[in-house]
Amino acid sequence: MSNQPLLSVSGLAKEFSIKGNKQKIKAVDGVSFSLNAGETLGVVGESGSGKSTLGRLVLRLLEPTAGEINFDGQKISDLNPKELRAARRQMQMIFQDPFASLDPRMTIEALIREPLDVHKIGTAAERAEMVKKIIGHVGLTEDALSRYPHEFSGGQRQRISIARAIITRPKLIVADEPVSALDVSIQSQILNLMLNLRKEMNLTYIFISHDLSVIQHIADKVAVMYLGKIVEFAPVDEIFSNPQHPYTKALISAVPQINPADRTNRVVLTGDIPSPASQPSGCHFHPRCPIAQKQCSETEPQLRTITTADHLVSCHLATGAVK
């Protein structure tokens, strides 16, 4: 097993310009991380944090305005359109909305077969076989193949999307809030499916969610995002047992805990997340931070290691002390 991470991004950024307005929106502002094969990175944050944009940038579904993406030895950010399309075979996406991401006019069979058609894998007969095999893998039966998306429930449609994503045996899957649109009871089913598939196929996931309890369940490493930047990055146990950034602490305190002993005082954040078009000075979080000091509004903190080598935080006041 090579020591090279499967995926590494550095300085990834995406700016959007608003028509008629000189200001630009920095949806993602200088994100760097690396991911090893078989690992799952959980990206967590509120809406507006840039996490969905980050997912699309990694796959180059959106063009980055800055930064590099290295995947499986290739510089994804440098590929031309034809090479990029070929590379897509190894990196797939699962979308949030199970209703909108499947073409309502195609049969399930055609939908799941589409990645094979696109990359011209196998003969027509072989493709049909592969589709039949995979449909069982995701927990649906063969008679689903001749039906249409509207005949299925949200959870089932997500299974179909997952089947589409794994049929080419990709190495990386970016899942953008894959369970957020589903009922809580269905959520765990889909999560367990994803966990099983990960083990079976040695998949690497980037799992984007706003829901920390889901992240806790599935991630190995966690990146907490705020206004386009990663404010804390640590292994999952470390994040939950020893969060350092005030924002992370606030998010965790909001997660309902069954064991009363685990319950802490809820940290309530004042205000709403500011518009990405007008970012606060210094530390972007300081207007809502319960412990903000003078330096927080003046200088921007950088990600630095704290406690262990794989725990990074960007806060002037983090000390490494356990909560």
Partner 1 sequence: MKTFKRLLKRKIALFSFAVIILIVASAIFAPLLAPYDPNQQFEQGLTLQGSPLAPNSEFILGTDLLGRDLLSRLMYGARTSLFIGLLANGFAVLLGTFIGVVAGFVRGRIGSAIMRFTDLMMAFPALLLAITLAAIFSPSLFIVALVIAMVNWVQIARVIYTQTISISEKEFIEASRSLGATNTRILRRHVLPHLAPFVMVWATLGISTTVLLEATLSFLGIGVRPPTPSWGNIIFENQTYFSTAPWLVFIPGAAIILLALAFNFLGDALRDELDPTQRGRQ
Owner of token pair 């090893």: 36
Question: Can residue 254 be called a binding residue for partner 1 (CB under 8 A)?
Answer: no
Q: Where are the beta strands (DSSP E) in the chain?
A: 7-17, 24-35, 40-44, 66-71, 74-75, 91-94, 172-176, 204-209, 221-226, 229-235, 304-306, 308-313
Q: Which is nearer to partner 1, 92 or 314 (CB)?
A: 92
Q: Which is nearer to partner 1, 61 or 277 (CB)?
A: 61
15: contact with partner 1 by CB under 8 A:
no
- Rounded least distance, CB 286 to partner 1, Å: 35
CB of 87 to partner 1, least distance (A): 8
> Which is closer to partner 1, CB of 85 or CB of 263?
85
For 172, counting Cβ atoms within 10 Å of its Cβ (0-12 exposed, 13-18 middle, 19+ buried), the class is buried
Q: Which of 159, 164, 171, 217 is in the footprint of partner 1 by CB under 8 A?
A: 164
Least distance (Å) from partner 1 to the CB of residue 212? 26
Residue 249 CB, shortest distance to partner 1, in Å, is 34
**Rounded to whole angstroms, how far apart are CA atoms 146 and 107?**
6
Least CB distance to partner 1 at residue 131 (A):
14
Q: How many CB atoms lie within 10 A of CB 103?
A: 12
DSSP category for residue 147:
S
Coil, helix or strand for 124? helix
Per CB under 8 A, which of residues 69..128 are in contact with partner 1? 84-89, 92-93, 95, 97, 100-106, 114-115, 117-119
Phi, psi of 264 (to 5 degrees): -115, 175
**Can you give the binding site for partner 1, defined by CB under 8 A?**
59, 61, 84-89, 92-93, 95, 97, 100-106, 114-115, 117-119, 161, 164
